Chains A and B, each alone.
Chain A
Amino acid sequence: MNAWRAVAGRPLGAICLAWLGLVVLACAGADLIAPHHPQEQDLSSVYSGPTWAHWLGTDQLGRDILSRVLHGGRVSLLVVGQALAAYLVLGCAAGVLAGYRRGLLDRVVLRLGDLALSMPAVVILLVVLAIFPHDESAAMITLGALSAAGLARVVRASTVAVREEPFVAAARVAGLSTFRILGRHVLPSVIGPVISLVALVAGSALLVEASLGFLGLGVQPPEPSWGGLIAEASQAIYRQPWLLVPSGGVVALTAVACAVLGDVLRDATDDRTSREPLSWRRMRTQVTRRPGEPPDEAAVLSVRGLSVRLADGTALVDDVAFDVHPGTALGLVGESGCGKTMTVSAVLRLLPPGAVVEAAEVRFAGQDLLSLDERGMSRVRGGGIGYIAQDPVASLDPLFTVGDQLTEAVRHHNRGATRAEVRRRVVDLLEAVHLPDPPGVMAEYPHQLSGGMAQRVAIARALAGEPRVLIADEPTTALDVTVQAEILDLLRELRDRTGMALILVTHDWGVVADTCDTAVVMYAGQVVEQTSVQRVFEAPRHPYTEALLAADPNAAVPGTRLPVLPGSVPAPGHWPDGCRFAPRCAFATAECAGPVAMTAEPMRGSYRCVHPRHGTTTGARR
């Protein structure tokens, strides 16, 4: 039902629904609506174009085309309906049964489906029509049954997917019978794609019917059908080409309506929020410069006044500034939705489509990144600033071997290197990330690697351009703790050996303590505290930092209640004015409602708070 509302709510969907409804109703009521009998001849006006008497003109016997279209539609739409009925019943039944029961039944259904899909449908229809002459119902039901294999596949796939969902497991644990699970949880989630497919198949069935009618294999003249009308029009292309317009037009319009409706339904049930489909061009991140503070020239990467906004103006990151010095590691800490990943993506200009960057300065090794175009940025990426992502397996192309992908990266960053040099460098990189048996690993495909191995390969690839800064976005979150420890050791070792700086995005205080030198804590799109790692654990200045540290069960006394914050992190677009943490803060006062700037303490760091904690000089309240 939600799907219908969604379709009717989109202008295109509503127009298509209206047209289909109009056509079906008009054809069903052809006896009442049609101005003439479809066989009524008027030899005084043959091949007339559109006139007041005959809105769509007349044919070679002076029969009224509009009436013939309406009556013909009754035949054509009826057999299309029969095809759809066969399609729906067979496809859904076979798909749900195969998907839910699995086993032998599943294999049989899949095999039969393969067979049906690999047959030339129209040729088979001709055989059926040769044997049952002019029986369009038989032909179209056969068409529906043959196409049902496609529906069965989709229904089966959805059923299998839903079957594995935890909510179905929860329903089984709750004691629901298979029958009720199918009715309650499986069928409703399958219905969206099914309706969308039915609409698409309706369109193509209509076209097949038109072809059969055109070939003279359908309903016998003078009985009208839409295909037959095209055949009649084909007899008169020299005398009255107009006949082509109503005959083909009604079929084409109806088929277009079906196809568009199918697409709209698919989009509506897909839960995709973005209406604008992705394109390569949209993937480029747009940047604008605004005035702000100057960068820190000693830093290898210095960011000032960085903001990220969605196309609708919602801010995701607001006025972020930080510096990374050569050979140090910076931890970007915060909970989900606070803008950590968006911040580093903005530096690399790899934001999701539609998001835009505004910044005062992004200075990398003396180079002004804001003045670069996409081509210039792609030279900085990999060669100047390396990047590794959270899910290591997904970040490798599944169709190329590890060797292929590393070779590609090495060759790109070392123009003019010989084949042997490139290969030696690839082996060196694999050894640098401590992967045993480099030649063996090079021959593997990503899906053959464990998560830890894949992350090592991803790190090796990021090192191919010898970057001066490596950004690691939650590099160990998807990995086991023992593997995490090894990867963190590796990152620390690489930093010590090459002098490269590290930006580590993480939500794990343990990772910060293990690997980082400075910590930048983010909350609701802003930096709330920036200080050394020792100080952030010993004497956090911002109440949020303090609360987040306290919530870590590592720091708590076992068996006691964990100290908690009221409420939850506000979503982008719902950030309060003034201090964004104030509504959840135990120390908030009226002063917190106004704008709060970062307060810098020489040699210590900075924080964004009116009532900082653990202070020795200013406003410490316990």
Chain B
Amino acid sequence: MLRLVGGRLLWSVPLLVVLSALTFLLAWLTPGDAARVVLGTDTDPAAYARVRSQLGLDRSLPEQYGTWLAGAVRGDLGRSLFTGESVAAVVDSRLAVSLSLLLLSALVIAVVGVAVGLVGALRGGVVGRALDGLSVVAMSVPTPWLGLVLVVVFAVNLAWFPVTGYVPAAQSPGGWALSLALPVVCLAAGGIAVIAKQVRGAVVEVLGRAYVRALRANGLPARRIICRHVAKNAALPVVTVFGVVLIGLLGGSIVVEQLFALPGLGQLTVTAAAQHDLPVLQGVVLCFTVLVVVVNLLVDLVTGWLSPRAVTR
């Protein structure tokens, strides 16, 4: 188990390095650099050269990357080209919002997705087909559009929830929950469908196995067979897909934060991408990558705990 975790951690180092290096390389390949972005239409060559050297752009690519990496290890991610704020500080201030949204959505996906999938697998028939259809629709609806529909129905017409904005939990726990309700539903819908489908498929697959028949032949009650044997066997593939869904949530959160005006990392990413603010973008990518590494690690831990083969080897 320890080796498994160690291996995954070791494997995450190249992931972090490759992603950040790729960002650098792509930035270097593009015509026009950060100095032009800062200066805008001001084309005085002297000013351009000065800004270039201020930003360190006159040095070689590996040198620039080395400097950034050395800073990143110390927790210094550079400064925004536009506001001049420390990237680390900006990322830090927005992390709580994004984590609230992501963790709540993950929880909703896990609970609702598993419940819906189980009902489909155990009941089957009309109920199963209806849930199947609903899943396909939920998976195929564009996230921004779903968000807009939710806003029109529940915020504008029914006025049950605020249209946009974020209330910190410290300020008002009730307000925090209300402000996150629609964003969480919007972000979780697709994931619920994916997990429900996966759970149903995995459970049905296990139900067809010879050992389930053998357990029934041995007289074990249905609840025990399902809760103990079917659940554990079906969990393996579901956990892997859950990891993929969680990583997908990062992308979805960008859209949802933008839509509901939540001041999180996603919104920061969109602004930085639109403004060509590479230091900020790199900081956010680093932060997202760390989240991905954590998710993958958790998936590996759960998988290892579930499957005996990984332990005995």
Contact = CB atoms under 8 A, between A and B. Distances in A.
User: Is there a direct interface between A and B, measured as CB atoms under 8 Å apart in the complex?
Assistant: yes
A385 B59 CA distance: 82
Interface stretch (A112-120, A159-167, A175-183, A596-604): A112-120
Interface string A124-138: 111111111100000
Most A C-beta atoms less than 10 A away, residue of B22, B29, B145, B309: B145
B136 A230 contact: no
B124 A396 contact: no
A382 B123 contact: no
A36 B189 CA distance: 36
A255 B143 CA distance: 12
Nearest to A391: B210
B208 A217 contact: no
B207 A280 contact: yes
A259 B149 contact: no
A350 interface: yes
B270 A217 contact: yes
B251 A122 contact: yes
A251 B26 CA distance: 31
B309 A447 contact: yes
B219 A379 contact: yes
Contacts of A237: 148, 151-152, 156
Interface stretch (B41-49, B64-72, B272-280): B272-280
A505 interface: no
Contact of B142 (A114, A211, A259): A211
A131 B148 contact: no
Contacts of B151: 237
B154 interface: no
A259 B193 CA distance: 12
Given A130-B278, A280-B124, A397 B229 contact: yes
A260 interface: yes
Interface string B82-125: 00000000000000000000000000000000000000111111
A387 B217 contact: yes
A244 interface: yes
Nearest to B213: A350
B211 A230 contact: no
Contacts of A465: 218-219
B139 A118 contact: no
A47 interface: no
Most B C-beta atoms less than 10 A away, residue of A123, A227, A241, A389: A123
A256 B134 CA distance: 10
Contacts of B213: 350, 389, 395
A216 B136 CA distance: 27
Contacts of A412: 218-221, 224
A114 B124 CA distance: 34
B18 interface: yes
B269 interface: yes
B171 to A, nearest CB: 27
Interface in B254-313: 254-255, 258-259, 269-270, 272-274, 276-278, 281, 284-285, 288-289, 291-293, 296, 306-309, 312
Given A131-B29, A252-B142, A122 B252 contact: yes
A445 B308 contact: yes
Kindly state the interface size class of chain A when it binds its partner: 35 or more
Interface stretch (A271-279, A527-535, A545-553): A271-279
A315 B260 CA distance: 61
Contacts of A225: none
Contacts, number: 259
Interface stretch (A189-197, A296-304, A456-464, A496-504): A456-464
A161 B24 CA distance: 41
A387 B215 CA distance: 10
Contact of A389 (B210, B274, B306): B210
A396 B142 contact: no
A279 to B, nearest CB: 2
A36 B34 CA distance: 42
Given A130-B278, A252-B142, A399-B308, A230 B219 contact: no
Interface string A237-268: 11001001001100110011011100100000
A389 B211 CA distance: 9
Nearest to B221: A378
B254 A126 contact: yes
A251 B217 CA distance: 49
Contacts of A288: none
A145 interface: no
A43 interface: no
Contacts of B122: 279-281
A259 B139 contact: yes
A142 to B, nearest CB: 10
A350 B212 CA distance: 11
B36 interface: no
Given A378-B221, A397-B211, 12 more contacts: A115-B18, A127-B23, A127-B273, A130-B272, A210-B144, A211-B252, A281-B125, A378-B222, A382-B217, A387-B218, A396-B214, A465-B219
13 contacts: A120-B250, A130-B278, A215-B258, A216-B274, A227-B144, A233-B148, A241-B152, A244-B149, A279-B207, A381-B216, A397-B211, A397-B215, A401-B308
Interface of B: 11, 14-15, 18-19, 22-23, 26-27, 29-30, 120-125, 128, 136-137, 139-146, 148-149, 151-152, 156, 204, 207-211, 213-222, 224, 226, 228-229, 232-233, 244, 247-248, 250-252, 254-255, 258-259, 269-270, 272-274, 276-278, 281, 284-285, 288-289, 291-293, 296, 306-309, 312
Interface of A: 114-115, 117-133, 203, 207-208, 210-211, 214-217, 227, 230-231, 233-234, 237-238, 241, 244, 247-248, 251-252, 255-256, 258-260, 263, 276-283, 348, 350, 374, 378-383, 386-387, 389, 391, 394-401, 408-409, 412-413, 445, 447-448, 458, 461-462, 464-465
